[in-house]
Structure formats: structure tokens, C-alpha cells
Amino acid sequence: MEQENTQNSKGIMKIPSFLIISFLTIFAIGPQYFANLSYTMNQEIVQNGLSLGSQQLLIPSTLSNIAFALGVPLGPVITRALGVRKNYLTFILLFLCGSLINLFAPNLVILVIGRIIQSVSAGILFLTMLPVSLKSFPNNIRNTYLFFIITGLFGATAAGAFFGSLSLDVDAWRWLFLLNVISALLCLIIGFFALPKIVEEHEHPPIDKTGLFLLILLMIVLSIPLCNLMNKGFTSYYVWPFLVIAMILLVLFILVDVKAETPIVPFRTLKAAKPISGTVMAVASHILLVLALAGINGFLRHNKDLPVHYLLIFYCCFFVGIVFTAIFKTLFYGALGAGKLGIIGSLAVMFVSWKWRTMTPAVSLPVLYVEIALLGAGVSMVLVSGALGTAFAGNLHFASMRSGTLHTIRNFTGAVVTPIVAWFISTQNHIQYENIRGHLGEFDSETNAELVNLTRRFVSMGLPVKDAQSMTSYELIANTKKSAILMAYHNLFTIMFGVGVIMLAASIVKMATGKGIGLVKKEKKVKRSDKKITEPTA
């Protein structure tokens, strides 16, 4: 039955199956990354379009990240029950529904509902399709899987930043969800005809209901403090008590899952140096990407005052770095291994982080273009190296379990870190602003001289004295705000450098433990001497 359907799909499409599966994988998962980054870029337009307050802007992205992190470990569980075809078609249809809801969302509540539906669906499809995509590649070209996945998934992140910047120029945001609708429709149609109908008759292992309950409860409880953190801070009763409860639930979930026969997240598979170091590489690089995008987006918008068309070029360079890594890893992953490639990528992001620690608005655009390309290349190189190094760090029978555990930890950490980063930037900005105001309030001779000169310059331009003094005060406040937010970004980039050091250390450990199993299996050669033995003699 399976063979017949596979032949039919090949006959209809006349396209290699690995290309079809890769398309279905990238365009099912990629739109989630696309939507996240595009929303990050155009929050001001969404705020104006839905008449939102600034305090509400982070709620959709925070809940979206939590929903995606919830969906990731559920993917294999649901796939075992429904099969790949039913699972894929069901949740790509749900993603389509979520996209349509977002396309016509009249208010914040409806937008949040749509984003949650999108994110849970994409999360479930994440670990449903990635293993299927890898297995679909013929052995002799299996390294090309890296090219498709890196350019597809990391490219979706770059595309989200690109189109999010473009939406600032056209002053509209709903059309971005229309792109999600189109991608979901394509996946639904192609998946319906291309995915084989497989009837599975074997018994499925029971679902760990206690673990599933604790996981869902953990995500619900965690959403409360993360949504309130930005505005209320850690000391609020809406934040720290729920964080304590979430921590307790997390510990209980891990304890239950470790002892379960069929765990939701098989933590037991990460109990050796190889998978642990690979997991640290992937998680740290994910955190670094969150820090980098939050910091550099803010710098370009608030300090550099970069026009939109330069932002588009900037994120094109980010994509160029990703494509370089995709090609480089495809060619050299088998020869160098995850550890050495992780070291190369870590050094690249550490170099960029160190430069950004002291960056000023005077930095040239060509330098920024090169640095964002290095960042894109480095982060994608370390993250994918860590993910593959963990999956292939032992018995291949448990490869999907190790991969599932890693990606669950990675996405859960990313969902928690993102609102914390936003809170950190806001808090640091406020602290630095008050420090600068305190310094200016002393009215030392140097400050007074600068203010007097600035006022005289405005008077010489034809302004009355009172207006010139008002303009001086305005310039003083504006420059103070820019200086404060710049210091906040510098502190963020310092943390980013520290994360890069962790990535480097984990990569060194990964290299020390050996390359592990490669993507391409070595085929056994038949010896000629064996053939001669079977030949009849005259």
C-alpha cells in the first residue's frame, strides 16, 4: 500500500520525494519564525492599527513563543497516534485557520488566539517533519539536507526581519499573515497528494498523562509572569509567585518524565558528554540570537536612525551569512564534525559581540553589513552543529529522542528568555537615563558651556531666544534618551559576548568527545576475492 502510494505521488509530481518533503517541512515550520520576526519589526504599526497600548505589545509574541514551546514535544506523541500524514494535514489546516484569524483580527484578543493556534500547530509539526525530512534524503546526498534546513528555517527568520522592515515602509501589517495563508494552502494541497497513506496496525505506547498534564499546566502558569514582567518587574505579585510555582512544576515534570516508560521529553537520553555539550551549543546559540536581534534592531532604529531601505539591505546580508553556513556545512560537516564547526561559529559571534559592545552611531554601514553576515553565519553554524551533534551522539535508535529533548529545551529556554531580554533593555534604559540626568543636573561648567553654545547656534539660525532655549532643552532630552538606550544595548551585547564564550566552551568539549556518527553512512564494498571463490573452475 505504502509503495503504491509513493509510486503514484512520484508519477504525478515527477519530483524527487526528498524535495517535496523538504518543501513541506520548511513551509510548515518556517512561517512561524517568519511571523515572530516580522511582528518584532512592525510592532508600532500593529499598535496603531489595533489601537493598543505599549504595555500590550509583547503579549502576542510572548504567548506565541510559549505555545510553540508547548507544541514541540507533543509532535512525536501525536504522530505516533495519528501517523505522519494525518498529523501533518490536521495541523497545517489549523495553522491555516490561525493565519486567517490573524489576517482579519479586529483586536488584541483575537490576534493572540490566532497566534497561539499558529504556534502550537507549527510546534507540533516541528518534530513531526524534521526526522521525516532527514530520512527522505538518499544516503549519498544526505549532507544536502543541511543546506535545505539551514537556508529554509534560518532563512525564514531573515525573511521575517526583511518583510517586517518592508511593512514599516508601506505602513501595513496584515499582508504578512496573507503570506502565511498562502504557504499553508500550498502545504495542505501538496501534502494531501504527496504524503503516502500508511495504515499502521501496531499498538502505540501509552501517553504519559501525568507528564502531559504537568507540561500544559507549567506553560499556562508560566505565561502569567512572562506577560507581566515587562511592565511590573520581578518584584510584582503578578510575577515572582508564579515564577516560583512554574519552577516547582518544572521540577515535578522532569522527575515524572525521567521515571515514565514513554516520557513526553526523554531527558534520560542526554546523560553523556556528547549530547550534553551539543545541547548547550544549541541552546546558547538560540539565546545569543535572541539577544543579538533584540539589540541590533533597537540600535538601528533608535540610535542609527537607519532608513527602511538600508534595513532591507542589512537583513539581506544576514541571509547571505546563513547561506554561507549552509554551503560550508554541506561540504565540510562530515570532515570537520560538529565540534570544530561550532568553534568556528563561536569565534565569529564572539568577534561581532565584542565589536558591538562599544559600537556608536558613527559606525559605517559596510562594517555593519559584514558583522551581521558574520553573526548569521556563526549562530546558524553553532546551533545546527549542536543539534546534529546531539542527535548523532550515540545509538541511532535514540537519535530522534535526543533531538526531541534538545529542541524542547531550546524552545522552552527561548520562550522564557525573550521577555526577560525586553525587561532588561527597558530597565537598563531607565537606569542609564536617570544616571545621565543626575550627572547633567549638577550643571558643571562643561555642561553649561555646551548648552549655551547650542542655544546661541539656534539663535543664529533665526529663532527667538525663548524658542532657542526650548529647542536646546528638547535636544538635551533627546540626546540623553539616545545615550541611555545605547548604554543599555552595550550591556546587552556584553552579555551576548558571555553567551558566545559558553558556546565556544561547549564546542571545545564537543570536539574533544569526537565527531560522532556522520550523516552519510559508509557503504560496504564487496571484495572481488569473494566473487572469485563462487566462480566455477574449469
Residue 8 lies in a domain: no
pLDDT value of position 204 = 67
198 dihedral zone (left: phi>0; alpha: psi -120 to 50; beta)? beta
Residue 271 lies in a domain: yes
Cα–Cα distance list, 298 to 12, 211, 292, 308, 309 (Å): 49, 39, 10, 13, 16
CB 306 within 8 A of CB 414: no
Other CB atoms within 10 A of residue 438 CB: 9
pLDDT value of position 450 = 66
Q: Are residues 226 and 188 part of one domain?
A: no
Q: Are residues 94 and 81 part of one domain?
A: yes
Q: Are residues 180 and 325 part of one domain?
A: no
pLDDT value of position 515 = 75
The residues near 191 (Cβ < 8 Å, ≥ 6 apart) are 24, 85, 88, 89, 92
Other CB atoms within 10 A of residue 160 CB: 26
Q: Are residues 274 and 251 part of one domain?
A: no
pLDDT value of position 448 = 66
Q: Are residues 441 and 465 part of one domain?
A: yes
Count of the separate structural domains present in the chain:
3
Q: Are residues 133 and 48 part of one domain?
A: yes
In degrees, rounded to 5, the angle at the alpha carbon of residue 336 between the alpha carbons of residues 500 and 155 is 60
Q: Are residues 316 and 184 part of one domain?
A: no
How many whole angstroms separate alpha carbon 95 and alpha carbon 29? 10
> Can you give the CATH number for the domain in which 190 is found?
1.20.1250.20
Q: Are residues 469 and 423 part of one domain?
A: yes
Q: Are residues 341 and 243 part of one domain?
A: no
Element (DSSP H or E) covering residue 31 = helix 17-41
The residues near 410 (Cβ < 8 Å, ≥ 6 apart) are 279, 282, 283, 286
Q: Are residues 244 and 272 part of one domain?
A: no
pTM of the predicted protein model: 0.90
Per-residue pLDDT in tens (0 to 9) along the chain, 538 residues: 344 444 444 444 478 899 999 999 999 999 999 999 998 888 878 888 887 776 788 899 999 999 999 999 999 999 988 999 999 999 999 999 999 999 999 999 999 999 999 999 999 999 999 999 998 998 888 889 999 999 999 999 999 999 988 888 887 889 999 999 999 999 999 999 999 876 555 566 788 899 999 999 999 999 999 999 999 999 999 999 999 999 999 999 999 999 998 899 999 999 889 999 999 999 999 999 999 999 999 999 888 888 888 999 999 999 999 999 999 999 999 889 999 999 999 999 999 999 999 999 999 999 999 999 999 999 999 999 999 999 888 777 788 899 999 999 999 999 999 999 999 999 999 888 888 777 665 555 666 666 667 677 777 777 776 766 677 666 777 777 888 899 999 999 999 999 999 999 999 999 998 877 777 766 655 555 444 444 443 3
Residue 300 lies in a domain: yes
**Residue 401, domain extent:** 266-517
Q: Are residues 182 and 255 part of one domain?
A: no
Q: Are residues 173 and 52 part of one domain?
A: yes
pLDDT value of position 1 = 39
